[in-house]
Structure 1
Amino acid sequence: MARPAQATRTTPAPVPVRPARPAVTAAEPAEATAHERVGYGALLRTPGAWTFLAPAFAARLPFGMLSLSIVLLVVDTTGSYGLAGAVAAVSAVAQALIGPQTGRLADRHGQGAVLFPTIVVHGVSVAALIALALGGAPDWTLFAAAVPAGASVPQIGALVRARWVHALRGRPAALSTAFAFESVTDEFTFVVGPVLATALSTTVAPAAGLIAEAALTVVGGLAFAVQRRTAPPARGAGDVRHASALTNPGVRLLAGSLLGVGSVFGALQVSITAAADAAGHAAMSGVVYGLFACGSMCAGVVYGMARWKRSAQQRMLVSYALLVVGCSTLWAMPSLTTLAVAGLCCGLAIAPTLISAYTLVESLVGAGAKTEAFTWLTGAIGLGLALGSTAAGQVIDGHGPTGGFLVPLAGSALGLTALLLGRRLLTPPTARSHAVASHLPAAAPAAPAPSATAA
């Protein structure tokens, strides 16, 4: 009798050890499949992709036009870079604070239900801002109009990323390529948008840039909103309420670090505009800023085609460090030509940083909060843009264009510092739980087995 009991005690012993191996491999499912190569062609053949990509491009192009168009209009009507930067900053702050709330509403009620009223408010608010600026209204009225204009900017980039997540669920390698494609699209809008805004505002009329921005937002946004078939399903008002994505410490860290990236955008818009004006080539500001965005776009294309062996967290740290290095050269450029070259090189680090951030945040939150999480990152960039443009405008008014280029260096350095200090927060919850499980003693689960057989 003793021998069978002994046998039942010994034979199950190896069984609890085996689950430890799958637990380790499951720690980073996205990274495990990241080496699979998914090309842009295969991505764009995803059923229904073009039905939302085409209108989304028209609707997101104004994102690269709004702040610069505000700066150009207010500078033309008031002559103050400080006021122009502040008005643009108020618009960006409103977008940064309200955008995530509209993203959360889109998660809960559907994208179309949020987009239609948002687009109407945006068109009316931009029209009011134009009328007030051209009419010589008091400065405070410009701020009053800039608040709803920024708050009602449709969060098209976040909504498109949410559609990709829905369309490519279960395909992490394809999703990584989609995020790269979206970053390239974002940067392309920052190539075309500033050039278009500058050309219209300086050659047609001071308000032409904002008029085009509003028209593209309304037409493209409505065309995007009606594409309901590709939209992710809404949670519904009766569903269990999800905690805000911002309660996740990793999301907060990513949003905080992208404030630094946004400060680079905002400070460069104002500083390049002032540098071009001081050099007697005001119309070239859009071209110089467009080259900065072009560098980011090219890097994004390459990033999406590469097979990465390092984690998204490591890639973001490296690319962010390179951004700080690039920003450290801008203030020393002696001419617009050298500034354009330095900006192009600096831009090479932008897209890899943003792609890595969106990849990380997608892994940190549940399905019911992804749009909101994306809009927090977009909003953080907008808020950083606001802070950067305001700070740069004040420095330029007091010390000239060269001083303005110290603002992106300071902002990016602070963002990198925050990222380095809190990098442990960027590990997805499943990876942390599996990592803990993999370090548990393998023999510990074996204890219940003998007691069961003994019974």
Structure 2
Amino acid sequence: MITRSCPAPTGVAVRPRLVPAPYRRLFAAEGAAAFTGAGFLARLALAMSGVATVVMVSSTHGSYALAGLVTFASLITTLVTMPWLGRLVDRFGQARVAVPAAVWSSAWTAVLVVCAVLRAPAWALIAASVLSTTAPNVGAMARARWAEIHDGDAVAMHRANSFEQVLDEVCFVVGPVLAVGLATSVAPWAGKVCSLVLTLAGTLLFAAQRRTEPPVRAAAPGSAADGRSTAPLRQPGIQVMTLTFLCTGAVFGSLELVTVAFTESVGHGSLAGVVLGLQAAGSAVSGLLFGVVAWRGGPVRRFLAGVAGMAVLMLPLTFAGGLGALVPLMFLAGAATSPTMITGTGLVQELVPRERLNEGMTLTTTALLGGIALGSAVAGWFVERHGPGHGYALPAVAAVAALAVAAAGAALLRRGVRGVRVEPAALV
């Protein structure tokens, strides 16, 4: 990927510089608002899906352990299906792959809902959940569209990545609240049905925006010589990012399930979505600020700082003794999430060639979802045996693990981004 760069002078301190009107120009491009609005629906469905499954299964079958296991089975399957779908998108185009994948996913999600309502055995829930894991990664496809629109303009790409992360966090503010609200006020399965409808409608509308769909690209001539034509997962830098995002996902998965269990244990189960939304709200606020500030210093350094901040800010949750203490701590816990994800996305865009961009971004998203599955399953087991009171130790441990992986692999990340840089001149 050919981009502009400007190395930082030796000895220059890291300091922020405000950028005026950072987001307004993003939507001057024709079609940008249309694909963003359409993609929001599908991404909202993803934000609803996990907690909707937990609430539905725990309500119909009376077991958090089973709810965690069903979520784990669904998300762990994405370790195979999502990179495969990303590779197909790079090869055949977004619309040709996303539409049939969304239809298949929605059909099996409907089967999962029926199984839950009929109180089918655990194997039926798990089978339906596994078969429903073909929902396309609309977030990665949207970022690929921004990369096409702003090809070579790294300042605009920093803002686009920041905006995309904030949009993700908005989804994770609204999604859990909507899912839990529907499940508690309408029926246990209502949140999952809403997620199904949004997945199908959002993906179809997104795919219909053909003007901004990136063209299918062949491998760049000569790329084999520098090793950039290899599969993204074979690149050491992507391996580090994948493992780091796996641990980060475990933070989110354990946090989600423990919060649902904790709020129920203190008699406020209907507020689980609101409490989870506070963590996403904190992340959204920090993401907006991060996007309008141009930070001096390299992307690897900023990524490490974000992961370290996430580890530090998760620790206070272990001292939450009630809902009153939990509310502000959840907002604070989200403050480092967006900066970590924004810089992580930028690193991935540097580490993979453009013709493998969907696959590369989907790998880290898959790792994130796989980590959510792992965190959810472990948290379900922990809560069943030890209660939710000490459950917030789990996301704290996972955040420390993410920091350890990122720090250990920092040299590989720097080696991967040495040479062509995606950093804008204003950010270095």
TM exceeding 0.5: yes
Q: Which residue of 1 aligns with 2:66?
A: 83
Letter of the 1:269 partner, please give it: E
Q: Which residue of 2 aligns with 1:394?
A: 381
Q: Which residue of 1 aligns with 2:253?
A: 266
Q: Which residue of 1 aligns with 2:243?
A: 256
CA distance in 2, matches of 1:27, 1:218: 35
How far residue 212 of structure 1 moved from its aligned partner, in angstroms, is 0.2
Q: Which residue of 2 aligns with 1:56?
A: 39
CA distance in 1, matches of 2:139, 2:7: 24
CA distance in 1, matches of 2:255, 2:420: 42
Q: Which residue of 1 aligns with 2:190?
A: 208
Query: Retained in 2: the 8 A contact 1:197–1:210?
Result: yes
Query: Retained in 2: the 8 A contact 1:260–1:408?
Result: no
Change (3 A) 1:30 1:247: farther
Change (3 A) 1:188 1:27: closer
The answer to whether structure 1 residue 223 and structure 2 residue 205 are counterparts is yes
Please state whether the residue corresponding to 1:307 is helix, strand or coil.
strand
| Superposed counterparts of 1:203-352, under 5 Å | 203-235=185-217, 242-352=229-339
Aligned residues: 408
Query: Retained in 2: the 8 A contact 1:261–1:350?
Result: no
Identify unmatched segments of 5+ residues in structure 2.
9-15, 422-428
CA distance in 1, matches of 2:210, 2:246: 32
CA distance in 2, matches of 1:391, 1:293: 22
How far residue 340 of structure 1 moved from its aligned partner, in angstroms, is 1.6
How far residue 376 of structure 1 moved from its aligned partner, in angstroms, is 0.8
Query: Retained in 1: the 8 A contact 2:4–2:152?
Result: no
Q: Which residue of 2 aligns with 1:124?
A: 107
Identity over aligned pairs, percent: 36
How far residue 255 of structure 1 moved from its aligned partner, in angstroms, is 1.1
- Aligned counterpart in structure 2 of residue 384 of structure 1, from 362, 371, 385: 371
- Aligned counterpart in structure 2 of residue 366 of structure 1, from 353, 357, 370: 353
Moved more, 73-82 or 243-252: 243-252
Change (3 A) 1:362 1:225: same
Letter of the 1:231 partner, please give it: E
How far residue 429 of structure 1 moved from its aligned partner, in angstroms, is 4.5
CA distance in 2, matches of 1:404, 1:135: 31
Task: Report Cα offsets for 1:232-267 as digits up to 9, x if no partner.
Answer: 111369x99943211111011011101121111111
CA distance in 2, matches of 1:418, 1:136: 41
Task: Report Cα offsets for 1:64-120 as digits up to 9, x if no partner.
Answer: 111100000000011111110111111111223311111111011100111111011
Change (3 A) 1:35 1:367: farther
| Superposed counterparts of 1:438-453, under 5 Å | none
Query: Retained in 2: the 8 A contact 1:96–1:378?
Result: no
Identify unmatched segments of 5+ residues in structure 1.
1-25, 435-455
The answer to whether structure 1 residue 67 and structure 2 residue 50 are counterparts is yes
Letter of the 1:79 partner, please give it: G
Please state whether the residue corresponding to 1:303 is helix, strand or coil.
helix
CA distance in 2, matches of 1:370, 1:334: 44
CA distance in 2, matches of 1:324, 1:30: 31
Change (3 A) 1:42 1:180: same
CA distance in 2, matches of 1:200, 1:273: 15
Query: Retained in 1: the 8 A contact 2:18–2:293?
Result: no
Change (3 A) 1:220 1:93: same
Task: Report Cα offsets for 1:298-342 as digits up to 9, x if no partner.
Answer: 000000000110112111111111111111121210111211211
CA distance in 2, matches of 1:178, 1:31: 22
Structure having the higher Rg: 1
Change (3 A) 1:414 1:430: closer
| Superposed counterparts of 1:109-188, under 5 Å | 109-149=92-132, 151-188=133-170
How far residue 47 of structure 1 moved from its aligned partner, in angstroms, is 2.4
Letter of the 2:300 partner, please give it: Q
Q: Which residue of 2 aligns with 1:190?
A: 172
CA RMSD of aligned residues (A): 2.3
Moved more, 310-319 or 166-175: 310-319
Q: Which residue of 1 aligns with 2:425?
A: none
Q: Which residue of 1 aligns with 2:5?
A: 29
How far residue 27 of structure 1 moved from its aligned partner, in angstroms, is 11
Change (3 A) 1:330 1:419: same
How far residue 430 of structure 1 moved from its aligned partner, in angstroms, is 6.4
CA distance in 1, matches of 2:351, 2:420: 13
CA distance in 2, matches of 1:352, 1:82: 32
Query: Retained in 2: the 8 A contact 1:253–1:419?
Result: yes
CA distance in 2, matches of 1:146, 1:218: 16
CA distance in 1, matches of 2:416, 2:188: 50
CA distance in 1, matches of 2:417, 2:274: 45
